[in-house]
Structure 1
Amino acid sequence: MTALPDANGAGREGPGAREIAIEEYAARGAEPFAAREDEPTALLLDVRAPDEYAEGHIPGAVNVPLEEVAERAAELTARTGPVVYLVCRSGRRSLTAARLLAEHGADARSLRGGTLAWAEAGRPLATGREPEIGAEGRSPS
């Protein structure tokens, strides 16, 4: 049975979905789209509303609002490969999205603490509405 996050957004992992620390994500490399042998097509999805995303997001994150994740889960899982990283403001919505994608077979990893923790760790934020997922499921070049 999948446990729900508590009122503060502290995550409780469900089957196929897990939380990872900001440091663990950052250690894999600064470029979310960089190919690695163990994560050849890993992608970072920011599941906040477009206005929230535009105000500040992790560089390279692709915006797919939580409300679209369920209807696009099969598409996103097929296009992103086995590993999908998810982020939101605090980690609550991204853990929900991770569970949805895990139900479609993805190795879904929610960044604990979200963009708040990212910024508090002194890591950079980008602004604006780019990038978006293109027809090929990747960020446009």
Structure 2
Amino acid sequence: MVATTTPTELQERLDEADDDALSVVDIRDPSSYAAGHIEGAVNVQPHQLSTATLDAEWAQADAVVVACYHGKSSQRVAMLLDQHLDADVASLDGGFEGWDGPIADGRGDSEGGAVSPTRTEEGPGPSDAPF
């Protein structure tokens, strides 16, 4: 089972962490992410996770916290990422619904933003193979 972190613990870690030491990955749908997300989070859909996405900047962090709506889906994604990342991976307990820290709106924040799909109309390429 993957570790969990509470919203309070995450806020403390965000306050203390260097910019590239901790990544928050929001796996909610893009419209929910755009309506509001944890400040600095990146939006990555579970179906977008592939070996190619592991080269993204967020995946190079020392610690990764996965957030979803209520904390259930993030557990599954965090377990998957824990197998493929050289990082401490955790799920946000209670998900975004439990978050009471700073919220960013839209997709234009400098640290976050939606991640483009890795698939093309022709299907996945060799570097886009799912885990």
Deviation of 1:101 (Å)? 0.6
Residue aligning to 1:124: 102
Identity of aligned residues (%): 32
1:94 matches 2:74:
yes
Structure 1 residue 72 displacement after superposition? 4.5
3-state SS of 2:103 partner: coil
User: What is the CA distance between 1:70 and its match in structure 2?
Assistant: 4.3
Matching residue within 15, 21, 24 for 2:9 = 24
**Alpha carbons of 1:29 and 1:77: their partners in 2 closer, same or farther (altered >3 Å)?**
closer
User: In the alignment, which residue of structure 2 is the partner of 1:35?
Assistant: 18
Q: Which residue of 60, 72, 80 maps to 1:80?
A: 60
Q: Which residue of 2 aligns with 1:111?
A: 92
Residues 1:29 and 1:82: Cα distance change in structure 2 (over 3 Å):
closer
- Compared with structure 1, are the counterparts of its residues 104 and 86 closer, same or farther at alpha carbon in structure 2 (3 Å cutoff)? same
Whether the aligned pair in 2 keeps the contact of 1:77 and 1:104 (CA below 8 Å) is no
SS of the aligned residue for 2:38 comes to: coil
Taking structure 2 as the reference length, the TM-score comes to 0.70
Give the strand-richer structure, 1 or 2.
2
Deviation sequence 1:93-139 (CA, Å, 0-9, x none)? 21111111101143211110011001xx4x332211233378xxxxx
> Aligned partner of 2:104: which letter?
A
By relative contact order (CA 8 Å, sep 6+), the higher-ranking structure is: 2
**Residues 73 and 102 (structure 1 numbering): CA distance in 2 closer, same or farther, change over 3 Å?**
farther
Are 2:14 and 2:22, in contact at CA under 8 Å, matched by a contact in 1? no
Distance (Å, rounded) in 2 between the aligned partners of 1:133 and 1:41? 20
User: Where does residue 64 of structure 1 map in the other structure?
Assistant: 44
RMSD: 2.6
Q: Deviations over 1:8-56 (max 9, x none)?
A: xxxxxx2xx211111111112348xx418xxx52111111111110111
- Give the paired residue count: 111
